A and B are shown apart, each in its own frame.
Chain A
């Protein structure tokens, strides 16, 4: 009995050690970014691997970056991008998911397979046709252009379809008997029950919109219409060797996501658990 207890404790300790090591590996880049932001340019590029902490904590990089880049505008663009992508994705995926799971219509399975097929294709394939479409609409350098590829989401449709399929059909039948039409059944009965999947989709969409680099870089080249990710990428040419400034800008850019995470921590974790995905 005692040996069993000892074995259990040893296993627990081993698991914790492994988890601590992996947590440390995950945190190193973030710690490096934070520490480098406070170093001088010379110190940041020093080859000595044992110099981890800055010899003097400097905030010059933050001041310079804040003055050179219009962060308020970048935050505004990023938040608008996230807001509209989340609204559009949740709205379209909720309705499409319900349609595919509960409504009978010709070609339903073929259409759903087409959506699944879209999930298997790399996003780069869509970049050129999507840009050509936005460019022909004369909508480049607008918030609409940033949101455009996220108006509908194959992943979201799939996620919500699975959520609706897990709900009992009796609820719908009861709603129909009480006089609800299809839209009322969907809006008043089924959609509220799929709320946890909608939250998961909203979180996934928000995170992907925040870190999306390729599309904003292509479609919004004007410095006044860029989100944070694209604006940080433009620093490569200007400050290619100035790591403290690059890291300071990255740290400032992380703030909205850290704040969002702290506010919605519970929903973030629930979202990952619900969808079985990773961010």
Chain B
């Protein structure tokens, strides 16, 4: 009963308001509307803008990548214009569009320094692993062990990566036993002698590749490891 009364009141007010505006000339009507309804106008325009924006972003949302590799402390060009990228695409035979394969070398940290575990780049690497953005990480020993200790790298003895394990058995590096682990866990593959990396201004020290524990693109990772050691 009360609700109906409120509705009727609102309708009557709206009718009266509309009659009032109709009696005004165009300019006064515009001034009146702006004076009394500017917040509503701004609100509605913002709302419409946001709806259009989100629809546009949703329609143009990035598709899933074929491969995303994080290269920690790697000072060379690995962008889509680089020889490294082109060479890998040719080797892999992937039919790629822009953004399908990403090599991210904009990551710099060294976990031998405790302060680096709070750095933006380290946080970025962890976030990328957790969100299944990154499929594999190339880094030096200390970083490999540091990230691996958090359980974010795949145990290479897992059935899912049996073929990688068998192929590169002699290159495997292990995460040492600890209070949390009863036995050593194979988490990385030594790629220090990679002919591809040797041609680049990459690592001066030993380097390793590890597979993300959350990746769903193991086939692409395997192709990439094969490429690095081919």
Contacts and interface: CB of A to CB of B under 8 A. Distances in A.
A236 B119 CA distance: 14
B120 A218 contact: yes
B108 A124 contact: no
Contacts of A187: 39
B40 to A, nearest CB: 11
Interface stretch (B18-26, B125-133, B172-180): B125-133
B131 A132 contact: yes
B133 A124 contact: no
Given A124-B118, A236-B108, A131 B61 contact: no
A139 interface: yes
Contacts of A217: 106, 120-121, 124
A127 B118 CA distance: 11
A213 B120 contact: yes
A96 B227 CA distance: 55
Contacts of A140: 62, 133
A79 to B, nearest CB: 16
A138 interface: yes
A77 interface: no
Nearest to B53: A144
Contacts of A233: 106, 120
Interface in B103-121: 104-106, 108, 118, 120-121
B106 A221 contact: yes
B47 interface: no
Q: Nearest 8 A-B pairs (CB), nearest first?
A: A131-B127, A135-B131, A138-B61, A214-B120, A218-B124, A132-B131, A128-B127, A217-B120
Given A144-B53, A237-B105, A237-B108, A128 B62 contact: no
Interface string A213-249: 1100110010000000000011011001000000000
Contacts of A94: none
Which secondary structure dominates chain A's binding surface? Answer: helix
Contacts of A213: 120
A153 to B, nearest CB: 19
Interface in B37-66: 39, 53-54, 57-58, 61-62
B75 A135 contact: no
Contacts of B102: 221
Nearest to B120: A214
Given A136-B131, A139-B61, A218-B123, 10 more contacts: A131-B128, A138-B58, A141-B62, A142-B57, A214-B124, A217-B106, A217-B121, A217-B124, A237-B74, A237-B75
A80 to B, nearest CB: 11
Contacts of B132: 135
Interface string A142-177: 101000000000000000000000000000000000
Given A128-B130, A131-B131, A240-B75, A139 B123 contact: no
Nearest to B105: A237
Given A132-B131, A136-B131, A138-B61, A127 B106 contact: no
B123 A221 contact: no
Contacts of B106: 217, 221, 233-234, 237
B136 to A, nearest CB: 16
